[in-house]
Amino acid sequence: MDFAVLHDWDLDPRQAVALQRELAQQVRLMPTVAESPATVAGVDVSYEKHGDHFFAAVVVLDFATLNVVDQAWADGWVDFPYIPGLLSFRELPVLLAAFHRLKTVPDVVLVDGQGIAHPRRIGLASHLGLWLNLPTVGCAKSRLCGVHDEPGVMRGEAAPLLLADEVVGMVLRTRERVKPLYVSPGHLTDVASATRLTLACTRRYRMPEPTRLAHHLTNQLRRAALSS
């Protein structure tokens, strides 16, 4: 798939923070246009253990059946330091290379990372959404910022995630008595849409099927690289 260049990547951490503040003003929150999108993509990144080589994958599923209809991947080398809150500057260049190889343009993208539940309101999912001009949702396994009550133990129960008294996401229980996910809108979605889409894509496992399959693919690629 094709998309316009949003900015270059030759930035130091201070410049990256300044760019985040600028880009955050472009993030738009709104109900996802399609109640039942035709396709949904998941993305994930996996790093070689004790190395700087990493793999990014995007897997596109039919929303109704959650069957795979397309997938693509790319690999690269880390050239930006690990700094909490600046993950997109480390991972997005390779993720975007994977999207360039994709034949199917998904209707919505689920990201194993944060959306606006981020100190500057622009996590990996939001940043990716701006690049692709597509609805994106952050489905993180852990909290980066904000406060919340514990959601109920049953699947579908949720508690608001608050940052400076603003609801930036939901702490969503996707499986009974299993740790919740931190769901937040990335771009062109809102909290309600992000929560609904995440739950609809979560069947047997804690993680939504699109990001779970993307994670599985990146791990396969990483293991293949180690054995070659």
* Mean pLDDT computed over 204-218: 97
Q: Within a 13 Å sphere around the CA of 5, how many CA atoms are in the beta-carbon half?
A: 3
Domain count, the chain: 1
In whole angstroms, what separates CA 121 from the centre of its chain?
14
pLDDT in tens, 46-73: 998 878 899 999 999 999 999 999 999 9
Look at residue 197 and tell me if it is in a domain: yes
Look at residue 7 and tell me if it is in a domain: no
Look at residue 6 and tell me if it is in a domain: no
Please say whether the beta carbons of 71 and 217 come within 8 A. Answer: yes
**pLDDT at site 228:** 67
Look at residue 25 and tell me if it is in a domain: yes
**pLDDT at site 180:** 98
Structure tokens, 20: 């985040």
The 8 Å CB, 24+ separation contacts for 49-54 are: 52/77, 52/78, 53/77, 53/78, 53/225, 54/78, 54/91, 54/94, 54/222
Burial of 91 (0-12, 13-18, 19+ CB in 10 A): buried
Radius of gyration of the chain from its Cα atoms, rounded to whole angstroms: 16
Judge whether 12 is annotated as a binding position.
no
**pLDDT at site 34:** 66
Look at residue 1 and tell me if it is in a domain: no
Band of pLDDT at residue 223, cut at 50, 70 and 90: confident
Residue 216, H or E segment: helix 209-227
Q: In whole angstroms, how far apart are CA 90 and each of 9, 45, 77, 84? A: 9, 10, 9, 11
pLDDT in tens, 15-46: 999 999 999 999 999 998 667 899 999 999 99
pLDDT in tens, 72-99: 999 999 999 999 999 999 999 999 999 9
pLDDT in tens, 138-176: 999 999 999 999 999 999 999 999 999 999 999 999 999
For residue 104, give the amino acid letter. T
Band of pLDDT at residue 102, cut at 50, 70 and 90: very high
Percent with pLDDT over 90 in the chain: 92
**CATH number of the domain encompassing residue 160:** 3.30.2170.10
**pLDDT at site 33:** 63
DSSP line for 56-78:
EEEEEEETTT--EEEEEEEEEE-
Look at residue 205 and tell me if it is in a domain: yes
Look at residue 177 and tell me if it is in a domain: yes
| pLDDT exceeds 80 at position 227 | no
Look at residue 213 and tell me if it is in a domain: yes
**pLDDT at site 49:** 81
How far apart (Å, rounded) are the C-alpha atoms in residues 181 and 189?
17
Band of pLDDT at residue 199, cut at 50, 70 and 90: very high
How far apart (Å, rounded) are the C-alpha atoms in residues 78 and 80?
6
Q: How many CB atoms lie within 10 A of CB 156?
A: 14
What's this model's pTM, rounded to 2 decimal places? 0.95
Judge whether 112 is annotated as a binding position.
yes
Q: Which domain holds residue 82?
A: 13-227
**pLDDT at site 19:** 98
**pLDDT at site 226:** 75
